[in-house]
Amino acid sequence: MVRQRIANPRFGGSIPPAASVLALLAGTALLFTAVSLSAAQGPPDIETLRAPRGPFDASIPLPESVLGHYPGQDFQLADWPTIQRYLEALERSSDRIVLEEIGRSAEGQPLLIALISSAENIANREHYRGIAERLARVGDLNDETARSLAAEGKAIVWIDSGLHATEVAHGQHAPELAYLLVAGESAEMQRMRDDTIVVLMPNMNPDGLNIVADWYRSNLGTPFETARLPVLYQKYVGHDNNRDWYMVTQPETRAVSAQLYDRWYPQIVYNHHQTAPFPARMFVPPFDDPANPNIPPLVLRGIERVGNAISTRLETEGKSGVVSRVGFTAWWNGGMRTVPYFHNMIGILTETALYRYATPRFYAPDELPSEFRDGTPAGESSMKYPMPWPGGWWRLRDPIEYMLTASLATVDVGSRYREDFLLNIYRMGRDSIERGNQGSPYGWLIPPEQHDGSSATELVNVLMRGGLEVHITDTAIDLEGRNYPIGTYFVPAAQAFRGYAFDLLEPQHYPDRRLFPDGPPDPPYDMAGWTLPFQMGVDVHRLETPAELDLEPLDQPVAAFGEMSGEGNTYLLDPRDNRSAMLVNRLLESGETVYRVDAPVPVTGETLPPGAFLVANSSGLAARLAELVNETAADVIAVEQRVRGQGWEIEAPRVGLYEPWTASMDAGWTRYVLEQYGFPYTVIRDADVRKGGLGAKFDAIVLPSASARALVEGHRVGQMPVQYTGGLGDRGVAALRDFARGGGTIVALDAAADVALDDLGANAADGLAGLSQEEFFCPGSLLRIEVDNTHPLAYGMPTDATAFFVRSRAFVVPEASEAIDAPTVVARYASSDLLESGWILGDEHLQGLGAVMEVPYGDGRVVLLGFRTHFRAQPHETFKLFFNSLWHAAAARSTLP
């Protein structure tokens, strides 16, 4: 195989020859060992691999007829436009497949699903889709009608690829799977087409596939052939595109969620991944404990049934190295395969072994560990790992073969147990409705009037994007000692997806799990708690008694509307409402003068808290504000009296967002949130910071949450093309120091505080230093914080709020601090009742410590945000702490006009 290197402007074009030499000297010999050994064993014969799955319809085009190579060929990655062209050719050749565009990606690529079944089923697909919906939603069905529909219906099996783009095999397996399902003429394949409708999403992240394919091609044949990707493989969130499935912020997530929970209602959802616990070749369910109590037992049993079918088929075909019940659990809600659990769907995750891209790798037996991380033997048979992998070659086609077997096993089990799966999704929905009718609670009431006026609507829309039924009251009501106005939202517990509502609206109580008795904690997979009302600052009330409510169902997400109220030519905006940020930033962008009032401001019927925005009157301002109210849905209050006193004049902050070449997801999420709320920013890289002179360009520099090593040292020379190595380095740290001393503001998010404390020498200390995990551990939970909302960094915040703490930071004021230079604690972790949702060990070590701190630094400041205030764009309540940090960087003390 001749490998051709392709220069790519996305990553800076050609690799400098000096960098190649440095990389070779730095120890990339393993890559070349793998490549040279590959010549000793030729690539697999594709016809031999396909033959056991045949015969095939010869009129159907083979993948290689369009791709130019067979899927999984050594050193070859097909990009999304090429795969799309093959799928279109497949559609033209057969009436067993139909392509549908369901949306567009973050960078404008088409998001496609391929519906594959028998020609008759495809012609009647809307009928069978309707059956799936009726069974999933239950409605007025009874058991007899449900059995009849299950007998008539077709199992809907969802299979997707490409979510995590550097896990290249599943994206390459999709065109081969489509070919097998469409062209296969075996009795088994015909039965599967007759009994199922496969909803194949060939790539959930086409942007990422193109980025990865470009990167691999640009480095092919160089010492960096297997180098890690230096940028995110999704515009904003990278790997976190599999952490967005209950918040549903990204266009890809929204498009897929609409198909799953509002259109196709598949009984089985199979989400391919490629990070198997080494040395296993594939992780296959069942999962490890703990199991989330809101997941129906029939889902857990269904996971076992499908997982066992996959494992059995793999081992029947001689594919060794399948492991189960190691590492992955069924607790967390938020992943592509986990959110379906709470919709009564069987979510399947497999993790197949990965080397790097399309480069082969040989594993000698003595390279394999003797056991997995949990102690399971890796070299002998066990219940978790019955058929150990002995080592050997691992080419891209090998994981594709495992994935094809697993995908076909999933369709096969869907075919064989079609009626069971259809009837069980009805049974789970029916039982959920019955439990909701029994109370505890009967539902959840969400008043429209909240601390943040936008928060109720935001929460309701999140719930509806996840397929939940939400209603709105037509009249004011008195319930359980409370008055609820017209427009109160109601989420009934008596609905088919009750478990999903319960899991998002109620606290999580993660069990205290240890690696061994009295030992260190056994960390959860991803998060331990995520309760949305806490994160978003929404007051949600459980309805504990049955009530007759005058309700109107919502059939689409709620559109927000702003209001311009009052009379006069003094204009105010509420600092508590996140939507105010959008309008204020638009005003600043157009050159209007905006102040923040540092005292409470009485207005008609209420008092605005400190930090209210005051817009200086100018010609045409009233008409301009009216336009912006319609565009941003923010409220503006006009008053006749002049607001007197002191405040801050703010300008549009010049924000530099430092983004390292380590593909920072926190930087990506930060870009996303800044854009959503209209903050202008400039991405700055290592070289930009090292040049210095930052004060002439920026008021604030944001350091995303990442380890100090990742930020300061970055990639080592030899690991990557030289332009992506070195991190901030000493020159970058010195430039940041000069920037802050000269009057700039450094905003350090979570882990980046370590750089501020250790490298910049900010006058604060790590309050958790020296504690072991046995003494303190909080892996991803919601904690209560106490906030001084009279401080400009906390304007608009409630005094009692929630922080998303993910192994985060806490601060103390050094004892030797002089009063003039002493840090100001803006928010503290609560001194009691700290945990709201999730799991914490040793909470006494965190109680009362600083969560948000402003630290003087020369003529400037360092703002330490000890937790990620906009983590995954979820905790809307604490967005304001970040926004205020930016506005305050460009604010000057002023007398109000």
Distances (CA, A) of 433 to 177, 422, 541: 38, 17, 19
CB atoms within 10 A of CB 248: 22
Q: Is the pLDDT of residue 23 over 70?
A: no
Report the C-alpha gap between 270 and 260 in whole angstroms. 12
Instruction: Report which of 833, 870, 826 is spatially closest to residue 850, judged by C-alpha positions.
Output: 826
CB 79 within 8 A of CB 213: yes
With cut-offs at 50, 70 and 90, classify the pLDDT of residue 659.
very high
Q: Which helix (H) or strand (E) holds 857?
A: strand 850-857
pLDDT (average), residues 499-526: 95
pLDDT at 674 over 60: yes
- Quick one: average pLDDT of 772-784? 96
Count CB neighbours of 589 within 10 A: 12
As separate numbers, helices (DSSP H) first and strands (DSSP E) second, the chain gives 26, 40
* pLDDT of 4 over the 90 cut: no
User: What local confidence, expressed as pLDDT, does residue 24 receive?
Assistant: 31
pLDDT at 427: 98
Give me the pLDDT at residue 518, please: 86
3-state secondary structure (DSSP) of residue 316 = helix
Give, as one character, the DSSP assignment of residue 684: E
Distances (CA, A) of 201 to 113, 157, 195, 314, 569: 4, 11, 19, 23, 55
How buried is residue 765: exposed, middle or buried, by Cβ count under 10 Å (0-12/13-18/19+)? middle
The pLDDT value recorded for residue 604 is 87
Provide φ and ψ at 616, rounded to 5°.
-65, 135
What is residue 13's predicted lDDT score, i.e. its pLDDT?
40
Give CA–CA dist 52/606, Å, rounded: 75
**CB 489 within 8 Å of CB 448:** yes
- The whole-number average pLDDT for the span 47-73 is 97
Q: Greater confidence, 605 or 571?
A: 571
Between 297-316 and 418-437, two packed helices, what is the crossing angle to 10 degrees? 160
* Distances, alpha carbon 56 to alpha carbons 50, 176, 182, 185, in Å: 9, 13, 9, 5
β-strands 443-446, 346-352 pairing: unpaired
DSSP 205: -
At residue 30, the pLDDT reads 34
Where residue 12 falls (left for φ over 0; alpha for ψ -120 to 50; beta otherwise) is left
The angle, 0 to 180 degrees and rounded to 10, between the axes of the packed helices 418-437 and 143-152 is: 150
Rounded-to-integer distance, Cα 34 and Cα 22, Å: 20
Residue whose structure tokens are 């599943």: 170
3-state secondary structure of 19: helix
Amino acid at 72: G
Q: Which residues contact 383 (CB under 8 A, 6 or more apart)?
A: none
* 45-70: average pLDDT: 97
pLDDT at 238 over 90: yes
Looking at the chain, the whole-number percentage of residues with pLDDT higher than 90 is 92
Q: For residue 350, what pLDDT is reported?
A: 98
Q: For residue 868, how far is the Cα from the chain centroid?
A: 14
pLDDT(371) > 60: yes
- Tell me, what amino acid is at 294? N
Each residue's pLDDT tens digit, 811-843: 999 887 666 678 999 999 999 999 999 999 999
Could you read off the pLDDT of 744-770 as tens digits, one per residue? 999 999 999 999 999 999 999 999 999
- Model confidence over 187-210: pLDDT tens digits? 999 999 999 999 999 999 999 999
Cα-flanking dihedrals φ and ψ of residue 611, to 5°?
A: 100, 5
Question: What's residue 14's pLDDT?
Answer: 38
Q: What pLDDT score does 11 carry? A: 56
pLDDT score recorded for residue 41: 56
Residue 19 binned pLDDT confidence (cut-offs 50, 70, 90): very low
Which tens digit of pLDDT belongs to each residue from 693-717? Answer: 999 999 999 999 999 999 999 999 9
User: What confidence tens digit (pLDDT) does each residue in 428-486 have?
Assistant: 999 999 999 999 999 999 999 999 999 999 999 999 999 999 999 999 999 999 999 99
Residues 458, 876: contact at Cβ < 8 Å?
Answer: yes
Q: Which residue has the tokens 């189960």?
A: 324
Q: Tens digits of per-residue pLDDT, 88-100?
A: 999 999 999 999 9
For the whole model, what pTM was predicted?
A: 0.95
- The predicted structure's pLDDT at residue 1: 39
Q: Which two tokens stand for residue 832?
A: 């009691």
The reported pLDDT for the residue numbered 818 is 66
At residue 817, the pLDDT reads 65
Q: What is the pLDDT of residue 207?
A: 98
Structure tokens that stand for 758 in this block: 């250790």
Report pLDDT for 605: 85
Q: Give the mean pLDDT of the chain.
A: 94
CA distances from 300 to 289, 378, 655 (A): 11, 26, 48
Q: Is the pLDDT of residue 27 over 90?
A: no
- Find the DSSP H helices in 243-290: 251-259
Residues 6+ apart with CB under 8 A from 214: 8, 10, 11, 79
Which pLDDT does position 623 carry in this prediction? Answer: 95
